[in-house]
Chains A and B, each alone.
Chain A
Amino acid sequence: MMQKAKDKPPNLGIELAGISLKNPVMVASGTFGYGEEYAELVDLNRLGAIVAKTITLKPRLGNEPPRIVETASGVLNSIGLQNVGIDAFINEKLPFFREYDVPLIVSIAGDTIDEYVQLAKTLKGEEISGLELNLSCPNIKYGRKFMFAQDPKTTHQVVSRVRKATSLPLMVKLSPNVTDISSIARVCEEAGADGVSLINTFTGMAIDIESRKPILRQITGGLSGPAIKPIALRMVYEVHRAVKIPIIGIGGIMTAGDALEFIIAGAEAVAIGTGNFVDPLTPIKVIDGIREYMIRNKIKDIKSMVGSLQCRKS
């Protein structure tokens, strides 16, 4: 079908928690480095936004290798938040982004609530578009076993304390390793979050049967990739019914079709993680594919797609 010349191109732009995005396709934390690693291969200016690798107060060395292994249509990783630390991030990594016209969302994590607050304060006044709290880290107050994101009370505390410390748009990244992700999302909304990113990786493992050893040095790791997409989608669907703040859908997105599923289920934007490893052009292909879908279906504005799921009447 020919598009008539007078037809306006479809609008992919969105306002996400106060950040203007050219399109709803972002790249997920930890899978796109600090942006510079992919700059030779991907036109960064075309991305909806970049979420940088999670930063902590002090540099972290990360976990002992092996850190990564492929499983059926997925990847297990246990990087252990290796990062350069907030000071080096601001001095050495941030200047790179000044050359680009793409919103940068900075992901932060701490061992304690105070560390999250301190990170948010340190980033005040920097040229960034928003913060994402990575709550998939153990809260050392309760020992190494529990992530912040697994406890509604701690989640509430950390989100409300960071909320008071920053005026930047504030996303909270949720862990799927919980029994009821909607209740955690609701807690984030109550505590003043501007949006929720879901999901981070599922805890999993893989074993070498010859040596009977776990393949990852840390024994367990986080599962990502197409293997987790149906569960991630279900979680976005549930959370969309539970909160009013925008959702960033993440988990196994490889194609425009995958991204559209998340948007129909209720995500305002999506982020691509493992898909970048498979094909660095995945985000670009997803953007182009969404546009083609909209032209084909005569959809003028991407916003009209969000949460447009048509459930059968019972």
Chain B
Amino acid sequence: MVQIDAKILVNEGIGPQRHKMALYAPQIGRQAKPGQFIHVRVSNNFPPLLRRPFSIHRVEGQKIEILYKVVGKGTEILSEKKRGEYLDILGPLGKGYRLPSATSKISDIILVAGGTGVASLLFLAEAISVANAELSILVLIGAKNREELLCEEDFRRLGCRVEVATENGSRGYKGLASDLLENYLPLSEDRPKPAVFACGPSEMLKRIGKISRKHRFPCQVSLEERLACGVGACLGCVVKAKGSSYTYKRVCKDGPVFDAGELIW
């Protein structure tokens, strides 16, 4: 974990209200694992006062990328940043996805991405294909409409199979990414189970958590909560998890990636 002033190398629109930013951050890139995030101070003045968290989307040599959607003041300011400016960032933070081991008994990998959830899953797909080229990766991407669909080609280029769902049916299946997952199941009992990794809106994750419980396959989900410190100190970002009765876990430190089975939705 380091705090650095990172130079902005690229900050460009890639869709409606969607942007990609590349930062020169070799110290963070070297340590980063898929599912981890950076905590960005978007402005030296306030508001916005608190930092804003973004998943690490890609690491390429000395640079890291994030992919973000403008939803409020902080992301709007971020979208107006110019190449050559510097951003105060902390990272890499949090616990990322646990990669399937080469010996694990799984049939294949399914990644389910909703909206900007593709951001961390592309990094994961890259890491899995480097670590274990044998595994086949199926990516299910959900978006509101075809314009808001992100990263389809990037996944294909990695050799993943990609299926798309849009809510208005303007591309692929008409419906939700979680529907695609359900259509793919149930699997016969004797087949090894897939390992599922999901990132997206909390409603989608909840649904996928339920499906994973029903069909009993391992499932990791990446959660979003409002963060303050981002480093585990303030206890502001907790989610309910199983314990002797229950316990609270910090999204920023114990997560953002959790086993769906350990959460109490």
- Contact A277 B88, CB 8 Å, known A31-B233, A79-B235: no
- Contact A41 B229, CB 8 Å, known A70-B47, A70-B49: no
Q: A interface, by DSSP: helix, strand, loop or mixed?
A: loop
Decide if B235 touches A67 in the complex (CB within 8 Å): yes
Decide if A276 touches B246 in the complex (CB within 8 Å): no
Interface members, chain A 8-48 (any B CB < 8 Å):
30-33, 37-38, 40-41
Which residue from A53, A62, A65, A278 sits with its C-beta under 8 Å from B50? A278
- A38 to B3: give the CA distance in the assembly, Å: 11
- A65 to B234: give the CA distance in the assembly, Å: 13
Which residue from A32, A61, A68, A73 sits with its C-beta under 8 Å from B237? A68
The 8 A CB mask of A63-78 against B (1 = contact, 0 = none) is 0111111101111010
**B48 contacts chain A at the CB level, 8 A cutoff:** yes
- A246 to B108: give the CA distance in the assembly, Å: 65
**B172 contacts chain A at the CB level, 8 A cutoff:** no
The 8 A CB mask of A51-91 against B (1 = contact, 0 = none) is 00100000001101111111011110101001000000000
**A225 contacts chain B at the CB level, 8 A cutoff:** yes
Decide if A280 touches B90 in the complex (CB within 8 Å): yes
Specify which chain A residues have a CB less than 8 angstroms from the CB of B3 in the assembled complex.
41, 280-281
**A150 contacts chain B at the CB level, 8 A cutoff:** no
Q: B interface, by DSSP: helix, strand, loop or mixed?
A: loop
User: Taking CB as reference atom, which chain B residue is nearest A41?
Assistant: B3
Specify which chain A residues have a CB less than 8 angstroms from the CB of B247 in the assembled complex.
61
Decide if B248 touches A61 in the complex (CB within 8 Å): yes
Decide if A277 touches B234 in the complex (CB within 8 Å): yes
Interface members, chain B 16-52 (any A CB < 8 Å):
41, 46-51
**B232 contacts chain A at the CB level, 8 A cutoff:** yes
Indicate the size class of the contact surface on chain B. Answer: 20 to 34
Specify which chain A residues have a CB less than 8 angstroms from the CB of B154 in the assembled complex.
none
- A225 to B247: give the CA distance in the assembly, Å: 28
Decide if B226 touches A274 in the complex (CB within 8 Å): no
Decide if A82 touches B41 in the complex (CB within 8 Å): no
Indicate the size class of the contact surface on chain A. Answer: 20 to 34
How far does the Cβ of A277 sit from chain B's closest Cβ, in whole Å?
Answer: 5
Specify which chain A residues have a CB less than 8 angstroms from the CB of B248 in the assembled complex.
61-62, 65, 82
Specify which chain B residues have a CB less than 8 angstroms from the CB of A279 in the assembled complex.
41, 88
Which residue from B2, B90, B235, B240 sits with its C-beta under 8 Å from A82? B235
Specify which chain B residues have a CB less than 8 angstroms from the CB of A274 in the assembled complex.
49, 228
Specify which chain B residues have a CB less than 8 angstroms from the CB of A53 in the assembled complex.
235
Decide if B225 touches A65 in the complex (CB within 8 Å): yes
Specify which chain A residues have a CB less than 8 angstroms from the CB of B230 in the assembled complex.
277
**A289 contacts chain B at the CB level, 8 A cutoff:** no
- A279 to B237: give the CA distance in the assembly, Å: 18
Decide if B49 touches A38 in the complex (CB within 8 Å): no
User: Taking CB as reference atom, which chain B residue is nearest A280?
Assistant: B3
**A192 contacts chain B at the CB level, 8 A cutoff:** no
- A280 to B49: give the CA distance in the assembly, Å: 13
Interface members, chain B 228-254 (any A CB < 8 Å):
228-240, 246-248, 253
Decide if A79 touches B234 in the complex (CB within 8 Å): yes
Interface members, chain A 139-191 (any B CB < 8 Å):
none
Which residue from A32, A72, A276 sits with its C-beta under 8 Å from B47? A72
- A75 to B247: give the CA distance in the assembly, Å: 24
- Could you show 29 A-B contacts with beta carbons less than 8 Å apart? A31-B233, A33-B232, A33-B234, A37-B229, A37-B232, A37-B233, A37-B253, A38-B233, A41-B3, A41-B231, A61-B247, A65-B238, A66-B225, A69-B226, A70-B50, A73-B46, A73-B49, A75-B49, A77-B228, A77-B234, A79-B234, A226-B49, A277-B50, A277-B230, A278-B46, A278-B49, A278-B50, A278-B51, A279-B88
Which A residues have a C-beta under 8 Å from some C-beta of B? 30-33, 37-38, 40-41, 53, 61-62, 64-70, 72-75, 77, 79, 82, 225-226, 274, 276-281
Which B residues have a C-beta under 8 Å from some C-beta of A? 1-3, 41, 46-51, 88, 90, 225-240, 246-248, 253
Which 8 residue pairs are nearest across A and B when measured between Cβ atoms? A68-B236, A33-B233, A37-B233, A277-B229, A277-B228, A37-B232, A40-B1, A82-B235
